[in-house]
């Protein structure tokens, strides 16, 4: 038989390693006997004792067991569950180093994949670094052997649930409820069949969607009502697929919304709708994006992957017309409702369209737009960027602002716009939307070479 390319050590292998640098996800990089080691929990300049967790032919992965020589950028993790929990990966790292690591990742990918560099690197955008996460999915599992209900995130590199009592990135009032949630669910008849709780925190309302794999008894439903009334939780139930989600107490409507204070916008949403997890950074991000796009009163602006209208409505306060596209019928309906409730329905229009299949002829059929904002999911906007690059000059917007949650696909799409579409990458930078994680949120400004920035 051939040699395995993915060899797990039969017995734990521990090594003393000197960390030379960090990779883009915050793991330390070391070399030992001609092999590269990626060491979780280690920082540049440190000497650590690490245990190998995955051993391949050319590289290995390891986790830090002991720090023999600490870096000045090392800080004490605030969360007592940090070493086990997979919710965060950078709490041991100074926040400035976290953001610098993400900025370096963006610039490297733009250079290597995008084959260009921004003329101006935007200053990183900071916001709250604790209790910022207004959206989350908490797993639930009852462990018979320990007679314990666990509610929390998964362990690192595992499907097991961390036995959490608090969480430093969830809103404080939610963190304080974790122990009470465990008591609630452990007392339910359906405790063995509760899979997860999806959290959505609005400006005034906290919604929780309970995924249950068997019908709930009257006692269970009453327990949820009492808990909700006592702690201010708007319970929603999900007995099946996404279409089965419904509010437990439909007769007590609790509007779920967040604010974009910079523009005086109030955005209503449902607990399963996509919204940004960090409301304060979202407001700052929208403000920066609109200013970078710089819509003028006479401009026609296109907003792609518009969702609930997070960018569409603020843009509509500055320009003549915003035309927006989104793949979800439900989100488009709620975007229209939000436009109407904010008095912006007269200068906005929303359309359902699969933007992963757009080609140049259809792009041109939408009309001429002065500026475009693109805010795609992790897969990026490759088809849209190809369509723009192949369009006639009259149908190429003068300026594009691209919001990205995946710097790799951003870099790929920038290469299309610059390499084939005649655009220049004018500005780019990162936004610390997800502190203490390796997630990189970024923004880029592209402009046609024939115009002046």
Q: Is 226 labelled a binding residue?
A: no
Beta bridge partners of 372: 302, 400
Q: Is 167 labelled a binding residue?
A: yes
Q: Is 406 labelled a binding residue?
A: no
Sorted by sequence, the CB contacts under 8 Å of residue 168 that are 6+ apart come out as 78, 79, 91, 130, 131, 175
Distance, in Å, from the CA atom of 45 to the CA atom of 17, rounded to the nearest integer, reads: 10
Beta bridge partners of 442: 404, 430
Active-site positions read: 405
Its sign, for the CA torsion 194, 196, 198, 199, is positive
Q: Is 79 labelled a binding residue?
A: yes
Query: In this structure, what token pair is assigned to residue 108?
Result: 């490297």
Q: Is 326 labelled a binding residue?
A: yes
Distance, in Å, from the CA atom of 24 to the CA atom of 430, rounded to the nearest integer, reads: 13
Could you tell me if 400 and 428 are in contact, meaning their C-beta atoms sit under 8 angstroms apart? no
Sorted by sequence, the CB contacts under 8 Å of residue 17 that are 6+ apart come out as 28, 30, 32, 37, 39, 42, 47, 48, 49, 50, 62
Distance, in Å, from the CA atom of 190 to the CA atom of 221, rounded to the nearest integer, reads: 10
| Residue 399 DSSP SS3 | strand
Q: Is 305 labelled a binding residue?
A: yes
Residue 191: DSSP 8-state:
G
Distance, in Å, from the CA atom of 417 to the CA atom of 400, rounded to the nearest integer, reads: 10
Q: Is 432 labelled a binding residue?
A: no
Q: Is 229 labelled a binding residue?
A: no
Report how far apart, in Å, the C-alpha atoms of 1 and of each of 4, 5, 8, 398 are. Answer: 9, 12, 17, 59
Sorted by sequence, the CB contacts under 8 Å of residue 50 that are 6+ apart come out as 14, 15, 16, 17, 30, 37, 39, 42, 62, 63, 64, 65
Distance, in Å, from the CA atom of 91 to the CA atom of 72, rounded to the nearest integer, reads: 14
E strands in 319-370? 321-326, 348-352
Q: What residues form the annotated binding site for S-adenosyl-L-methionine? A: 276, 305, 310, 326, 354, 375
Residues making up the annotated binding site are 79, 85, 88, 167, 276, 305, 310, 326, 354, 375
């Amino acid at each position: 038989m051939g040699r395995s390319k993915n060899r797990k050590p039969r017995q734990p292998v521990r090594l003393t390693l000197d960390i030379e640098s960090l990779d883009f996800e915050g793991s330390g990089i070391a070399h030992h006997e001609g092999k590269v080691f990626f060491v979780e929990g280690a920082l540049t300049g440190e000497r650590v004792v690490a245990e190998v967790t995955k051993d391949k032919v050319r590289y290995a992965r390891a986790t830090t067991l002991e720090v023999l020589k600490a870096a000045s950028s090392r800080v004490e993790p605030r969360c007592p569950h940090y070493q086990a929990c997979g919710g965060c990966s950078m709490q041991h790292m100074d926040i400035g180093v976290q953001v610098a690591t993400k900025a370096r990742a963006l610039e490297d990918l733009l250079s290597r994949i995008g084959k260009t560099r921004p003329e101006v690197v935007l200053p990183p955008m900071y916001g709250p670094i604790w209790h910022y996460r207004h959206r989350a999915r908490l797993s639930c599992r009852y462990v018979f052997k320990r007679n314990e209900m666990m509610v929390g995130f998964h362990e690192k590199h595992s499907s097991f649930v961390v036995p959490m009592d608090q969480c430093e990135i969830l809103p404080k009032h939610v963190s304080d409820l974790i122990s009470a949630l465990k008591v609630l669910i452990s007392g339910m008849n359906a405790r063995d069949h509760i899979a997860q709780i999806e959290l959505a925190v609005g400006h005034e309302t906290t919604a929780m969607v309970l995924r249950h794999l068997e019908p709930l008894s009257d006692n269970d439903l009453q327990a949820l009502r009492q808990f909700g009334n006592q702690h201010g939780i708007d319970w929603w139930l999900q007995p099946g697929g996404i279409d089965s989600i419904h509010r437990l107490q439909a007769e007590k409507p609790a509007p779920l919304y967040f604010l974009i204070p910079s523009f005086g916008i109030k955005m209503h949403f449902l607990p399963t709708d996509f919204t940004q997890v960090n409301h304060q950074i979202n407001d700052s991000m929208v403000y920066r994006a609109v200013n970078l796009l710089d819509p003028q009163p006479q401009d026609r602006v296109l907003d792609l992957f518009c969702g609930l209208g997070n960018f569409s409505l603020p843009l509509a306060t500055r320009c003549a017309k915003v035309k927006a596209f989104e793949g979800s019928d439900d989100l488009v309906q709620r975007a229209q409702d939000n436009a109407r409730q904010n008095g912006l329905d007269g200068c906005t229009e929303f359309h359902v369209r699969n933007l992963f299949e757009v080609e140049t002829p259809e792009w041109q059929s939408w009309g001429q737009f002065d500026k475009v904002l693109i805010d795609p999911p992790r897969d990026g906007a490759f088809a849209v960027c190809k369509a723009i690059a192949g369009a006639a000059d009259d149908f190429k917007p003068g300026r594009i602002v691209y919001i990205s949650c995946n710097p790799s696909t951003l870099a790929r799409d920038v290469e299309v716009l610059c390499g084939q579409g005649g655009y220049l990458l004018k500005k780019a930078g990162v936004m610390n939307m997800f502190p203490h994680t390796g997630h990189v949120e970024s923004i880029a400004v592209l402009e046609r070479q024939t115009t002046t920035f």
